[in-house]
Homo-oligomer: A and B are copies of this chain.
Amino acid sequence: MLYSKSSEYAIQAMIYLAENQSMNRIMVNKIAAEYDIPVYFLAKIVQTLSKHHLIRSFRGRNGGIQLNKPAKDIRIIDIVYAIDGPPPEVEMCVIGLDECSDSVACPLHNNWKIIKENIRVLLGHENLAILAEEVIKKKELLAQ
Contact = CB atoms under 8 A, between A and B. Distances in A.
A40 B114 CA distance: 35
A90 interface: no
A104 B2 contact: no
A59 interface: no
Interface size of A as a range? 20 to 34
A132 B88 CA distance: 27
A105 B131 CA distance: 12
A99 interface: yes
B11 A104 contact: no
B131 A96 contact: no
A27 B114 CA distance: 36
Contacts of A2: 94, 112
A142 B96 contact: no
